[in-house]
Structure 1
Amino acid sequence: MKRIVVSFLALIYASYSFADNKIQKLYDSVNNSVVELHVEAIANPKPGQVNYKVSKANSLGSGALVSKKGRILTAAHVVERATKIEVTFNDGSKTSGHVVWVDNLIDLAMIQAAEVPDNIKPLKLAKAEDYRVGEQVMVIGAPYGVSHSLSVGYLSGIRDKDPIPGTGLVPRFLQTDASINKGNSGGPMFNLDGEILGIVSHILSKTGDSIGLGFVISTDTIQKIMATDPTIFSGLIPHLLTKKEAKAINNPYGYGLLIQQVVPGTIADRLGFRGGDLNVLIGNTPVLLGGDILLEISGRPIKDLASALKLRGRLTEYAKGDKIIVKYLRAGEVKQTFWIIE
């Protein structure tokens, strides 16, 4: 009887050792392709701040190298307001990065690194729906600035959001109990084949620290967005006005995109658009008033989310040298500018 018990315990120990060894090998194989993102960005208004003036803030995130040419997937909230991005690799080498595109609705972004060390291989995305609740996963990132930290857990759930109007896209997030904290945002979650199952987006927590409710943008959703050939980052941080909001700020058109902030050096900045300077709360949502309101792009009004997304999709159809006319409202006066596609 003792021999049976000892053999059983030895078998359990061996299985755990094998699993631990597999995680170690997996970590070693993918870790170099995970990057830290040190971001200087336009700061959001502070709680209770009424008069807003543009200032800078520093933040930290993570990213996943997905091409030899330096393309890096990350979360939109990490880089959408970035004025400067420093990409740090595991060997300590650093390079600059810039935003290629941002999808705020999904919380996904792509950036471009200026240089990539020769010995780093790009990561692969897992196949769509090639995952199951209960499988083991691992997350690599820089929680609280602690570089290349590993956390291991399980895929706890599959959460589909409401369809995005006018696109047919149903955003899917994968839930995990692997530890995720500030600094993990934008980093990859892997399956045990070393493929990216998702990009870390957010956690649910009353304290702001991990309690085992983390969510990543699924590989399915990532691939669908990338397949649409997202438009170039404009540098606008917008707020889509409802009819009631438009009426409240005396916008006679009753619709439009209210510009919250403009990222320096971007297309929006070069076109001269202005952000807001009066910080208010609409319900629980902070909104900056006083900025320009985009009304039409090439004669097509921005009346709701579906029309805004449709216009965003149309921008990919323009060719170099094409002229896009933008109609907007500034301090009650209708103005017009144009953008020549470069």
Structure 2
Amino acid sequence: MRDRSSPQPPADRFLRWVAGAAIVLLTLFVAQPYLTGLAFSERTSRAITARGDLAPAEATTVELFARASPSVVHVFVQAAAQGRALMGVDADDGDQNNGAQTGTGFVWDAAGHIVTNNHVVAAAAQGGSSVAVRLSSGAVVSASLVGAAPSYDLAVLRLGRTTAAPQPLAIGTSADLKVGQAAYAIGNPFGLDHTLTTGVISALQRRLPTSAGRELSGVIQTDAAINPGNSGGPLLDSAGRLIGVNTAIFSPSGASAGIGFAIPVDVVNRVVPELIRNGRTRNPGIGIIAGQEATAARLGIDGVVVLRVLRGSPAAAAGLRGVDPQTGDIGDIIVGAGNQPVHRLADLTAVMEAAGLGAPIELTVERDGRTRRVRVTTSDVAERRL
């Protein structure tokens, strides 16, 4: 018979030790969250870690926004009978809500002139709508429409009585812009006041159609986020100078897809003073209605097809001929202007704008397979009719 008081074999003691250790480890594993919470929980406010100086790029952006944002305003054009908007039935969604057109603008001068997009205030230009501007201080001030230039999608407002108009933005130039340099947009996307987005200038010399049936050349493309409500707001360079007026986005969804467009400041700086002086801008032209470029391209035509000629216009005086309304035969195709090739309407309008009003331009015109040169003098054709 085995003596029960005899020592256990070493193997049994080892197995018991391993089992005990495993139990201890399992217990610690199960209890670990409780023990960690008990030992490391912060039951009072944590000490604040010193931030230190902002990075140079951050400090520049912060300073730029602080300096420029007071000059940026929120523009509202509201029809007279829109009580639902006052009841807050729908949220502000940017450029259009509850029959109210909203957008952004900025202070142009010490007289309280505000620059914005024409499409933001188009309803006011047609009558029956009032315009109000919310300043960066939160004050809402009535405004009147001074003038509009649909061909450039620009408009000028003037603030009503206010204690003190904000400072105007510094003006830069778009002539020396470089692709890749920093760009900053300030506006009210989706009604959210004073929003800053940053990016770069993605491309230059883009073309953008306007509501007046013209095509604006030299447009700035940026990837700084531009959304509905940013329309009419400033695009700034890293020095805080105005280099463009944000006007459109390219997006199937209607939200920013990284492709936004701005009217170059050199155009703005030419058109806005004329709107302040005269309430309108005079557009140098020759008095033609151009055919659709997509249709001309499908027909293999390289140039501007003269669809119709305005009565009493320089084009009519020069004998230009449009499409025959009876037979549909094409008349004249403008393929050159001022020793520059003309492939599309923007090429022709660029030459006319560079020449100015009352300037002679030599056109190269194709008709019936033959090329001839025609001399025309530009004039203000904005109010001419067929």
Alignment TM class, shorter chain as reference? 0.5 to 0.7
Deviations 1:285-314 (A, max 9, x none): xxxxxxxxxxxxxxxxxxxxx99971449x
Instruction: Name the structure 2 match of 1:144.
Output: 190
Spell out, residue by residue over 1:270-289, the C-alpha distance to the aligned partner (whole angstroms, 9 max, x if none): xxxxxxxxxxxxxxxxxxxx
> RMSD of the alignment, in Å?
3.8
SS at match of 1:161: strand
Provide the aligned length of Structure 1 versus Structure 2. Answer: 226
- 1:243–1:133 distance in 2 versus 1, CA, 3 Å: closer
- TM-score, normalising length: structure 2: 0.51
Aligned to 1:127: 173
- Higher RCO (CA-CA < 8 Å; seq separation 6+): 1
Contact 2:149 2:280 in 1 (8 A): no
| Deviation sequence 1:23-43 (CA, Å, 0-9, x none) | 001100111100000112599
Residue matched to 1:62:
104
- Work out which of the residue numbers 73, 76, 81 in structure 1 matches 2:123: 81
Q: Separation in 2 of the partners of 1:118 and 1:309?
A: 41
Stretches (4+) displaced over 4 A: 227-230, 240-244, 253-256, 306-309
CA 1:41–1:254 in structure 2 vs 1: closer, same or farther (change >3 Å)?
farther
Which blocks of at least 5 consecutive residues in structure 2 are unaligned?
A: 1-51, 82-97, 282-286, 292-307, 312-375
Alignment of 1:1-342 (within 5 A): 17-41=55-79, 57-82=99-124, 83-118=129-164, 120-161=166-207, 171-226=217-272, 228=274, 231-232=278-279, 310-312=380-382
Q: 1:97 to 1:255 in 2, by over 3 A?
A: same
* Larger helix proportion of the pair: 2
Deviations 1:5-64 (A, max 9, x none): xxxxxxxxx998110111001100111100000112599xxxxxxxxxxxx921210001
| Alignment partners' CA distance in 2, 1:120 and 1:68 | 8
Instruction: Assess if the C-alpha contact under 8 Å between 1:42 and 1:81 holds in 2.
Output: no
User: How many Å separate the matches in 1 of 2:73 and 2:230?
Assistant: 11
- Whether contact under 8 Å (1:172, 1:221) holds in the other structure is no
Structure 1 residues 16 and 204, CA gap change in structure 2 (3 angstroms): farther
* Paired amino acid for 1:19: A
Question: Match of 2:317?
Answer: none
Larger radius of gyration: 2
Structure 1: 5+ residue stretches without partners:
1-13, 44-55, 235-239, 245-252, 257-305, 314-325, 330-342
**2:62 maps to amino acid:** Q
Structure 1 pair 163–154 and aligned structure 2 pair: CA distance change class (3 A): closer
Q: Secondary structure at the match of 1:140?
A: strand
